[in-house]
Structure 1
Amino acid sequence: MPLLRRLGGLDEVFASAALVLMTLIPLAEMALRPLLGEGIVNAPVLVQHLGLVLAMAGALLAERGGHLSTLGTGLSHSHNPSLRRGAQLVAQGGGAFLAGLLAWASTEFVLSEREAGRILAYGIPVWSIQAAMPLGFALLGLRLGRHCCRTPGLGLLAGAGLTGLGIVVAHLFAESAGLPLPLLPAVVALVLMLLAGTPIFAVLGGLALALFWAEGQPLASVPLSHYQITVNPSLPALPLFTLAGLVFARSSAAGRLGQLFTACFGSGTTGTAIAAAMLCSCFTAFTGGSGVTILALGGLLLPLLKDAGMPERRGISLVTSASALGVLLAPSVPLIMYAIIARVPINTMFLAGLLPALVMVGFLVLVGGYLRPVPGAPRATAPRASAAEIARLAWAARWEILAPGVAIGALASGLATPTESAALTAAYALLTQAIAHRELSPALLRRCLADCAQVIGGVMLILGMALGLTNYLVDAGIPDAAVEWVQATLPNRFAFLAALNVFLFAAGALMEIYAAIVVLVPLLLPVAQSYGIHPVHFGVIFLAVMEMGFLCPPAGMNIFFASAMFGKPIREVAVSVLPALLAIFLGALVIAWVPWLSTGLPGVVGG
């Protein structure tokens, strides 16, 4: 077993190495181009394929840390021991079986690519990197299945058996030239697995495989989709921006920014509430996850809000809900994801989100009631900070303040591609926190690399499987049918926008934002365009409404993060954010009905 534990640690090694190389190669490319006239051979493609290694190794790391996303219905945590154990067996056993199916489908894909004989760079065959997919899915199946048995040795046998069963079933399909699949029982089984707690990626992948299987099409279509989105030219920006945000989150940057924001907006209830909302939004934009913001800033901001006279419950509500609003601010990961899926320039989406983000923060603090005074509540006695004090705090946080300028400036100036801009931002975060502040120790760096790999690995698996499902739906003509049905049902643009907001609110409560972007955007964007809605405007609407999903169980992870951070029951946190949900919904309606808020700034800058 010590050998297995040592082998288990290789996922972190490979993921961290891929992430470091993804940072260094674009930086070397930027330095070599002006000096030598050329850079590293096929540098962008190398970085994109390192993203595939990061995705698979990061997914293994996420499984090891218990961070693979599930629906979170609570069956696996039931007070009934029999129900809890049964749900665990279905969830983990089903996940292992589905991972086996995906491992076989990926093997078929890699073998076909091997015959093509493509070379990546420096004599490295493309298939050798693609082999990370079947190996990764097989190891995921082994690890998921081992939880079916409490005895470690028997657990490994169970994992190997269930994964192997999936491989055998997929092989039978391939050998039988289209073994018929009863689709309805397969879908029912997948829904039961999802409710039991099977990882979302496995259920989405299983559904995509079932649909292709029922049509007699190659199962390799699903891993092909996973490969296509993983090596998308803009996608390496996601892990690199996330790494930069995590470095800031794990250092004392949050404290420095918190002091500066509080000083700028005042120490009373109004000023502290606005400062908290702005800080949480900006921090989420950089960390790529509102849950990270709650963990990084919750312990800092809640005492400040309470000292300013805000009741604890309202303070928890503000931190929990404001952490969801950074989705519209650059360099937010969902913002980049939408740009990639909708084929909109990333810098255009960065500009498009600025005014709507301010609108959403304004609605949150005003309509959400966070500025309402509380009779008899203690008031902050600290005087308003002087200009000299604000200047001192700004100087202390100067490196963090400049970070957005580095990220957006390099991209907007045309000096760097999205990947190079993200690599520059990650290097900037690492160097400033390690050298200027001396807060980035080797142990902390390792933790940041591992956490980034876990986040990206779990997200990329969901994206890849969701894209496979989306490709099937597009091939089946579902978007065209949706356009016709919606146009016949909703008479005008405003009716469509109202229905869109309600639908996305429900989708946000049931789906992770990344899966929702990949699955829903290709289906809904053609419908929106048929009503004359610009893709940039639609993207801002989509992301603004999906922000509510962070606050709605079962997919609303902010509720669970806040419950753990503040030591409060989930129900109490969920009830506390109800006013915020109404405020965000109203803000999203304003953004939907006033297109200029989204398209005005990109038009001015671009024009």
Structure 2
Amino acid sequence: MSIFLMMMAVFLVFVFLGIPVSFSIGLSTVAAVLAKGMPLAFVSQMAFTGLDSYTYLAIPMFILAGYLMETGGLSKRLVNFAASLVGNIHGGLGIITVLACAFFAAISGSSPGTVAAVGAMMIPPMVEKGYDRDFSAALTASAGSLGVLIPPSIPMVLYCIAGEVSIGEMFMAGFIPGFLMTAALALTTYVISKKNGYKSDEGEFEWKKVAASFKEAIWPLLAPVIILGGIYSGIFTPTEAAVVVVVYSMFVGLFITKELKVSDLPGILYKGAVTAGTTVFILAFAMAFSRYLTLNQIPQLIGSVILGITGNVHVILILFVLLCFVTGTFLETASQVLIYTPLFLPTLKGLGVSPLHFGILLTVGTMLGMMTPPVGINLFVAQGISGAKISKMTKAILPFLFVMLFVQILFVFFPGFSTFLPGLFSK
């Protein structure tokens, strides 16, 4: 346990010194390996073998698909469809933003990508219609976090790889929690908008408008159907599904919407490679970190400590939720998933907690981390679009943050939200 505490101390010192998380994880592993007298080659070997998996191909493919859909005009059609569903109610533009983020989340798998795509289209109109700039940016940063909860989700893929959980079942587990979180954010937006007098001028709800916008949005809305339908029908694996959605996005952008140009592809490939490369770099060192913990039976020690405090599963899960909430302020998504999965999943499985249930709690924990400084990437993406100040955005985001934390605690006590659909479709 002393070696583990040293690892965490080294890791936290490097993080607070501003060293990139990937290097912080790698250097803490190197320190532990040297302290244990193990050969240094262990780190490079574990990093390489940890990445030597066919499943990892899904990560760059989902990232690339998100960029293709954004450039191909699919996100714009999703926003228009969301607008048709909202009538003349308080906070109409804000609720449209929440729904648009939910729709885009179902095709992108990326939270910052969702904020960028929807925020660029929704923040300027909200500010123009009298919405507070800080509120508009905070709302978009909050709703954009749905990108990791509503499948397909890159953090879910990482969790499934680290915890050896079925990606298809994990994706299915995200639907009900994703719907509930979307509803909670929309309701919060309505309450705040009514209090501040943010009215909508979208006009009355009309089925004719819904039908027309649905016709335009049918192509992007088909993407999650193709992904999950293909996986559950056995036509292709989750990794192959990621490749299929890339081809589908490119086809729709080039030949259906015709907003994606061949000349755009090099830039899209470059952005996708940079984003994926950063994620995979963290992944390599995190896998070495994880393998070291496993070989030295650190998860079993953590389990003994937890059970020494309490044997109540609900209390343990609430403590885990609070841990994610705190560490999410300085750990980014991939790091949280890849560090906490090997540490906590074995113990919780032994206590009868479904890996799908734990996966949803961990995923929501990463959502909250994306909204809190100093590592809250969604805040910085929304700030770049809106021009708002981070300090004021942080204050404006608090109502959404606490509502999402409350919903996450509800998930602790009602695991059926996560396990019902996978159980239904596995029969």
Distance 1:446 1:558 in 2: 25
SS of alignment partner, residue 55 of structure 2: coil
Deviation at 1:285, TM superposition (A): 4.6
Aligned twin of 1:551: 371
CA gap 1:321/1:521 in 2 versus in 1, 3 angstroms: same
Q: Which of 481, 484, 487 is the equivalent residue of 2:301?
A: 481
Contact kept? 2:293, 2:299, Cα under 8 Å? yes
Q: Which of 188, 199, 214 is the equivalent residue of 1:379?
A: 199
Distance 1:187 1:372 in 2: 40
Letter in 2 for 1:356: P
Q: Which of 263, 280, 287 is the equivalent residue of 2:108?
A: 287
Contact kept? 1:363, 1:586, Cα under 8 Å? no
Aligned twin of 1:564: 384
Deviation at 1:267, TM superposition (A): 4.6
SS of alignment partner, residue 38 of structure 2: coil
Q: Which of 144, 156, 163 is the equivalent residue of 1:335?
A: 156
CA gap 1:282/1:507 in 2 versus in 1, 3 angstroms: farther
Aligned twin of 2:277: 457
Contact kept? 1:369, 1:579, Cα under 8 Å? no
Distance 1:362 1:247 in 2: 28
Distance 2:117 2:7 in 1: 42
Contact kept? 2:124, 2:386, Cα under 8 Å? no
CA gap 1:518/1:564 in 2 versus in 1, 3 angstroms: same
Deviation at 1:309, TM superposition (A): 6.3
CA gap 1:183/1:526 in 2 versus in 1, 3 angstroms: closer
CA gap 1:485/1:315 in 2 versus in 1, 3 angstroms: same
Distance 1:462 1:298 in 2: 27
Deviation at 1:214, TM superposition (A): 1.9
SS of alignment partner, residue 170 of structure 2: helix
Q: Which of 365, 378, 381 is the equivalent residue of 2:186?
A: 365
Deviation at 1:294, TM superposition (A): 2.0
Aligned twin of 2:167: 346
Distance 1:184 1:522 in 2: 16
Deviation at 1:506, TM superposition (A): 1.4
Deviations 1:114-141 (A, max 9, x none): xxxxxxxxxxxxxxxxxxxxxxxxxxxx
Q: Is 2:419 the counterpart of 1:605?
A: no
Aligned twin of 2:321: 501
Deviation at 1:306, TM superposition (A): 4.8
Distance 1:189 1:395 in 2: 55
Distance 1:188 1:546 in 2: 21
Deviations 1:537-588 (A, max 9, x none): 1111111122100011122111211221111111111111111110110000
Aligned twin of 1:66: none
Q: Is 2:110 the counterpart of 1:253?
A: no
SS of alignment partner, residue 269 of structure 1: coil
Distance 2:11 2:79 in 1: 45
Q: Which of 215, 238, 244 is the equivalent residue of 2:65?
A: 244
Q: How many residues align?
A: 425
Q: Which of 12, 22, 38 is the equivalent residue of 1:201?
A: 22
Structure with higher Rg: it is: 1
Q: Which of 580, 593, 599 is the equivalent residue of 2:413?
A: 593
Distance 1:190 1:569 in 2: 30
Distance 2:9 2:169 in 1: 42
Deviation at 1:431, TM superposition (A): 0.8
Deviations 1:57-100 (A, max 9, x none): xxxxxxxxxxxxxxxxxxxxxxxxxxxxxxxxxxxxxxxxxxxx
Aligned twin of 2:260: 440
Letter in 2 for 1:333: I
Contact kept? 1:545, 1:584, Cα under 8 Å? no
Deviation at 1:291, TM superposition (A): 1.9
Distance 1:393 1:184 in 2: 55
Distance 1:510 1:190 in 2: 11
Deviation at 1:376, TM superposition (A): 7.5
Aligned twin of 1:525: 345
Q: Which moved more, 1:374-383 or 1:253-262?
A: 374-383
Distance 2:359 2:8 in 1: 30
CA gap 1:577/1:373 in 2 versus in 1, 3 angstroms: closer
Deviations 1:175-211 (A, max 9, x none): xxxxxxx999998777555434322212211211221
SS of alignment partner, residue 198 of structure 1: coil
Contact kept? 1:285, 1:328, Cα under 8 Å? no
Contact kept? 2:173, 2:421, Cα under 8 Å? yes
Alignment gaps of 5+ in structure 2: none
SS of alignment partner, residue 452 of structure 1: helix
Contact kept? 1:298, 1:565, Cα under 8 Å? yes
Deviation at 1:304, TM superposition (A): 4.2
Contact kept? 1:309, 1:374, Cα under 8 Å? no
Alignment gaps of 5+ in structure 1: 1-181
CA gap 1:330/1:216 in 2 versus in 1, 3 angstroms: same
Deviations 1:473-521 (A, max 9, x none): 2222211111111111024122112211111111222211111111110
Q: Is 2:205 the counterpart of 1:388?
A: no
SS of alignment partner, residue 463 of structure 1: helix
Deviation at 1:263, TM superposition (A): 0.5
Highest RCO, 1 vs 2 (Cα 8 Å, sep ≥ 6): 2
Aligned twin of 1:263: 84
SS of alignment partner, residue 344 of structure 1: coil
Contact kept? 1:307, 1:378, Cα under 8 Å? no
Deviation at 1:240, TM superposition (A): 1.0
Letter in 2 for 1:351: M
Letter in 2 for 1:353: G
Letter in 1 for 2:103: C
Q: Which moved more, 1:380-389 or 1:568-577?
A: 380-389
Deviation at 1:281, TM superposition (A): 2.9
Deviation at 1:307, TM superposition (A): 6.4
SS of alignment partner, residue 201 of structure 2: coil
Deviations 1:372-415 (A, max 9, x none): 44468463334225322222222222211111112111111101
Contact kept? 1:326, 1:332, Cα under 8 Å? yes
Distance 2:398 2:198 in 1: 25
Deviations 1:271-294 (A, max 9, x none): 443332122133235333322222
Deviations 1:158-183 (A, max 9, x none): xxxxxxxxxxxxxxxxxxxxxxxx99
CA gap 1:482/1:195 in 2 versus in 1, 3 angstroms: closer
Q: Which moved more, 1:291-300 or 1:579-588?
A: 291-300
Task: Compute the TM-score of the two structures, normalised by the length of structure 2.
Answer: 0.93
Distance 1:466 1:588 in 2: 26
Aligned twin of 1:222: 43
